[in-house]
Chains A and B, each alone.
Chain A
């Protein structure tokens, strides 16, 4: 017994020291103490960017998170200014040829954050690098406007044949495939940003971390990048226009939960919560609105339902229209989404075409919808609504999509007497389903890449690609073709509007609403510039 007890004590001792060692181990890998938050007077702000950016190499970036960082740290030939129009940035002077196919940019005296000069070669290098098929640039197609851009990327032409050439250090000559009236908007986009070619040539992995190799030419430089945790940007003393820049530091944290984001904002740990960098919880929007804290700004984006025009009964235009007309968009926007969205009765958002606020048809036009449905049923030989094949509305899993789908399901039942089933799926499964034409009605949205209606219309030009509706209309396609070579801005707009009218008349898609950005912000923070495409620039921002 005694022996046993002793033994037992030994056991306890061993267990105890184990626990002790454990505690020490834990203490050893405890997270390091962070510094407290900066006060308002220091011109430091904190924002949430939700997730780790895909890549901070402008040539590789293909997502809004990366874009949101790059827009602060880099600068292209142009920059979208406070008024939403492109203004000269790295380019000091821009000359266009008569046929709008040739641009000559003169690069201003500017340096990279390590003191290297920004040269025309840096642009040429960056663009050709992105187009080179052996570099895995997903957004290379943003550069297809350049002459031979597409064929070089497909490996059909050499990269040397691409229409970009550094004549000397200061002069960049760009040749385009087609006259592209919005080309100077494109040069403000991150795929068109320059890259410090000296460093990039020596060190192909220059972009994976902050440090000496990561140089940039924009208003801010990245000084810290803790992966999946935070990024710290500091004012770039070498920036050519650094007198305009007021903020000393931007801390970008990565918290991917809307409720936490808002809580941190309410707790004074963030200066901005919500779009475009983060997300507001949808449930909070009504109360934020009531408290008069919510900011709303329309952006270039459309939320729409696609009809599969090869699947019954949506091969019939009148049935498609009946479904589209009988949606009460006003009720959805005012009672469900509540973020100031604009009911959508057109494909192109009103930030690009002002008149589209009214749209091409009447919202919630139940009488007309019933008539159209009757007509459609007759044309297809259905006796009544009950003879329709079973109809399923698909959406990708998300609370807000589910809400809208359930509301529309209810509207179709009440207004048309049609029973529609709902089916949701995980994002990639869903995309796959849509791209393979394995659906009847599917939810989708489009956010503009650049500020021009053609970005929304060309989606439906050809079957395949992004056109899951499998709809094709010769006249529509030829109007778009014509617009591509039209150099007169007004005439071009007219062609695009005609095309949109055809689209809305044939209704392969039923637009629901136009997106908005919603956010709350520190009241002392001013002059953050949001573009119509929904991105934010901090170049001019300051804390009062």
Chain B
């Protein structure tokens, strides 16, 4: 799909720009990965005894896959509201630098902060990656409309996937239901590994996986937080050793 040239009259209407954003979801393999991930989240919600409305609200209002599976898994295994909230908020801190780095791509001197509200809400790793790829081809004054269209399309795909996954988990044989649940750990493991550029990221991912079973043996109810804090801090130590000390 080729976008119209930057000075084309096609970009004059914000709704046209929204439609181009919506159409661009067909231009990326990440849409397929998101679909598989949210299929898994729908199935996970079903098998952890959450309602479909709950799953859809979590996609619409949280809109961050890692936070959603952390929330479902911790609440489902009996963590308190406070423990889940802490795990979710730590996983969400990464959204702060993402929003900070992506919004300047859409801002013009006259842009008001409230116009960026939806773009900020829609910011998550997929949108962040795609903005860097697509936005240079979109005139600056139409970028907010374009991003809203792109985000609207991605959210719609994920809500559909949640619904399909939820009903598949309810109706499929045990084996196929298990296959859909397995989508979540696989897609998150590989997409996180793919996004790992520094040694610290790889160490955090590998140690985080390996330390969890040890932390779970302590049965403190804080397993995820303990293993995350220890593995993450060791990974930071590796980063410090390589970069700062060097």
- The answer to whether A and B assemble together is no
B: residues with CB less than 8 A from A are none
A: residues with CB less than 8 A from B are none
